[in-house]
Amino acid sequence: MDLSNSSALITGGASGLGAATARALAAAGSFVVIGDVDDERGQRLATELGGAFAHCDITNTEDVVSAIATATDKAPLRAVVNCAGIAWVQRTIGRDGSYASAHDIDAFRRIVEVNLVGTYNVVRLAATAMSTNDPDAQGQRGAMVLTASIAAEEGQIGQAAYAASKGGLVSLTVPLARDLAVVGIRVNTIAPGLFDTPIYGEGPASEEFKDRLASSVLFPKRLGHSEEFAGLVLETLRNDYLNAATLRLDAGVRLGPK
């Protein structure tokens, strides 16, 4: 798929994996729309890339529709990359045997609401807009990328909510691709492993923690770079024969219980 002369929406695009993806898509000739709740970072990056920023809580339909409109007003929306998501760590039961110490059920709902329901909200609305595009020579109107996690298969202790939400994205991949094939829209999912993103903070303690994480990686023995994730996103968007796939990007790591 030709990414030039078209627009691309990246949710969670203000930092980390999303920001690297926005830069890669801009370099490929797309008009990038960064959808995020971090207005300051998002607007700064959009200005740097000559794109646009849209305040976007992916669970809010009005926000998502507005972000899509920002993209389609500029050029046909042909690429959507879903990077927005949140994390939570809490064991299913507490140490004292009390019901009160069991996993916060509202937190579980919130993680699933953002990571799974929110992503689906973006897909259903963006695909609707894409379906009105003129098809290319292969009948293709667009392509989407979902961002899961290797925790979908190897969730660690305390990751019940996060793993469930990311596992839901993996399970969505094939039925979404089947649903959207009728209008020529491909859907793929990337399940990243341990990546060096702002989630780990900064400073000596942060670097020490990241070094410990990297020790479990098979090869190369380091955390992934955001640009490596962005490179795989571009390949999934450009490769017309790649559809309904979940791709692990993890340097061979397999997560232990903790």
| Packing angle of the helix pair 119-130, 61-72 (nearest 10 deg) | 40
Please report which confidence band the pLDDT of residue 198 belongs to, taking 50, 70 and 90 as the band edges. Answer: confident
Tell whether the model's pLDDT for residue 202 goes beyond 80.
no
- Tell me the mean pLDDT in the region 191-201: 87
For 218, the domain range is: 7-249
The Cα–Cα gap between 258 and 3 comes to 40
Hey, which residues are catalytic here? 162
Q: Provide the number of structural domains found in the chain.
A: 1
Residue 122 maps to a domain: yes
Residue 236 maps to a domain: yes
Give tens-digit pLDDT for 141-190.
Answer: 999 999 999 999 999 999 999 999 999 999 999 999 999 999 999 999 99
- Tell me the mean pLDDT in the region 213-234: 96
Residue 202 maps to a domain: yes
Please report which confidence band the pLDDT of residue 80 belongs to, taking 50, 70 and 90 as the band edges. Answer: very high
The full DSSP string for 117-169 is: IIHHHHHHHHHHHHTTSPP-TTS--EEEEEE--THHHH--TT-HHHHHHHHHH
Please report which confidence band the pLDDT of residue 199 belongs to, taking 50, 70 and 90 as the band edges. Answer: confident
Please report which confidence band the pLDDT of residue 205 belongs to, taking 50, 70 and 90 as the band edges. Answer: confident
Residue 2 maps to a domain: no
pLDDT at 126: 98
pLDDT higher at 98 or 211: 98
Backbone angles phi, psi at 11, to 5 degrees: -80, 145
pLDDT at 212: 87
Residue 132 maps to a domain: yes
**pTM, to two decimals:** 0.96
Residue 32 maps to a domain: yes
CATH of the domain at 160: 3.40.50.720
Residue 1 maps to a domain: no
Please report which confidence band the pLDDT of residue 95 belongs to, taking 50, 70 and 90 as the band edges. Answer: very high
pLDDT at 134: 97
Q: What is the mean pLDDT of the chain?
A: 96
Locate 172 and state its tokens.
């969505």
pLDDT at 206: 83
pLDDT at 224: 97
Residue 254 maps to a domain: no
Q: Backbone dihedral region of 144: left (phi > 0), alpha (psi from -120 to 50 degrees) or beta?
A: beta
